[in-house]
Amino acid sequence: MTALEKENALKALIAGYGTLAIGYSGGVDSAYLADVAHETLGAKAHMVIADSPSIPRDELEEARRIALDRGWNLSIIETREFEKEEFLRNDPMRCYVCKSDFFEHLHAYAQTHGIAVLAYGENADDGQDLTRQGAKAAREQRVKAPLVDAGFSKEDIRERSRERGLPTWNKASFACLSSRFPAGSRLNPEEVLKVERAEQLLRKLGFRQYRARHHGELCRIEVEVQDFEQLLQPNTRETLIEGLRKVGYRHVTLDLAGYRTGSTAASPVVSA
10-residue mean pLDDT profile of the chain (272 residues): values are 96 98 97 98 97 94 97 96 95 93 96 97 78 82 96 97 97 92 94 97 96 97 97 96 97 95 55 30
pLDDT at 268: 40
pLDDT at 214: 97
Contact 175, 261 (CB under 8 A): yes
pLDDT at 173: 85
Q: Is the pTM of this model over 0.95?
A: no
Domain borders along the chain are 3-164, 177-254
* Strands of the 73-78 sheet, one edge to the other: 73-78, 45-51, 20-23, 117-120
pLDDT at 129: 60
> What is the architecture, at CATH level 2, of domain 3-164?
3-Layer(aba) Sandwich (3.40)
pLDDT at 13: 97
